Structure 1
Amino acid sequence: MDVNLKRVNQAVHFEGSSSSSNIKVHIDGSPEIGGEGLGVRPMELVLMALGSCSVLDLISILKKQRQDIQDVQIEISGNRTDTIPKVFTDIHLKFFIEGNQVSLEKAEKAAELAVKKYCSVHDMLAAGGVEITYEIIVS
């Protein structure tokens, strides 16, 4: 796996790309270091990576369980230390699953597998001491 970061302007705005796709991701620093709000911040990308890694597996597992999923959204919140490096201490994922007669029990089992067994981002963060919790809301 290879990625590239290209500086876009004289500030701290970068465009990230992957060797496996043509998709671009804009990354920017905080205003304190010259960021201009032109992209997501690196630690936000970490939360997005955890959420997307988990939800892709969650959807796959729910489909295998023959659950009729109409929509899935995730809210992810993380707390960081006050000292540098400001690493995450804990992260909470909140999955909102909409569908037709989706079983909460099956969704909870699927989330357990998706987050804690199949998501490599979870394992990397947890190995670093980050406490990761989640909850499922089915409607």
Structure 2
Amino acid sequence: MSHKITTTWVENMQFESTNPGGNLRIDAGPEFGGDGLGYRPKALMLSALAGCSGLDVASMIKKMRLEVSDFKMETEGLLTDAEPAVYHTVLVDYHFYGSDLDQDKLRRAVDLSVDKYCGVMAMFRKFAEIKINIHFHRT
């Protein structure tokens, strides 16, 4: 199995990139000569990480029939000072909302994603330290 995308220059610093779910626009911010009209490449990596793990956790929430009214992740990548700037540390905060959260099962779902299922997480571990936090919010 493989993934193949095509990324085509549109104008200035903008590119259009294919994806199995649809196309997306990539652009640099004005501070780097772009127009700020698209996603930033490094930030897309963080979205891929959160999306991969989020899909795992959502699947387990469904399979375990857990009561969760809302679920979100906040992901922050800390960059090196030297060029090329790369993520040296990535913080991933999982937030679960509900009136009757099964905290043990939700922790297990996150752990399974982080340690076993999320391929993007495994790739990130090759170059960055990953720090995970889980937060439970009673609604």
Instruction: Please report the TM-score for the alignment, with normalisation by the length of structure 1.
Output: 0.89
Q: For residue 4 of structure 1, what is the aligned residue in structure 2?
A: 6
Higher strand share: 1
Identity of aligned residues (%): 34
Distance 1:64 1:138 in 2: 20
Q: Could you list the per-position Cα deviations for residues 8-62 of structure 1 after superposition, in whole angstroms to 9, with x for gaps in the alignment? A: 22x11111112x34x1211112324321110111000011111110110011112
Distance 2:83 2:89 in 1: 16
1:100 deviates by 4.2
**Quick one: which amino acid aligns to residue 18 of structure 2?**
S
Q: Give the unaligned 5+ runs of structure 2.
A: none
Q: For residue 111 of structure 2, what is the aligned residue in structure 1?
A: 112
1:101 deviates by 1.1
Superposed counterparts of 1:20-39, under 5 Å? 20-21=20-21, 23-39=22-38
Distance 2:24 2:71 in 1: 22
Q: For residue 127 of structure 1, what is the aligned residue in structure 2?
A: 126
Aligned-partner SS, 2:39: coil
**Quick one: which amino acid aligns to residue 70 of structure 2?**
D
Q: Name the Cα RMSD after superposition.
A: 1.4
The size of the alignment, in residue pairs, is: 135
Aligned-partner SS, 2:69: strand
Q: Could you list the per-position Cα deviations for residues 65-108 of structure 1 after superposition, in whole angstroms to 9, with x for gaps in the alignment? A: 21022221111111010111211110011111123412111111
Structure 1 residues 93-102 or 82-91, which shifts more? 93-102
Superposed counterparts of 1:1-139, under 5 Å? 1-9=3-11, 11-18=12-19, 20-21=20-21, 23-128=22-127, 130-139=128-137
- Structure 1 stretches (4+) deviating beyond 6 angstroms? none
Distance 2:103 2:135 in 1: 8
Aligned-partner SS, 2:51: helix
Distance 1:88 1:31 in 2: 21
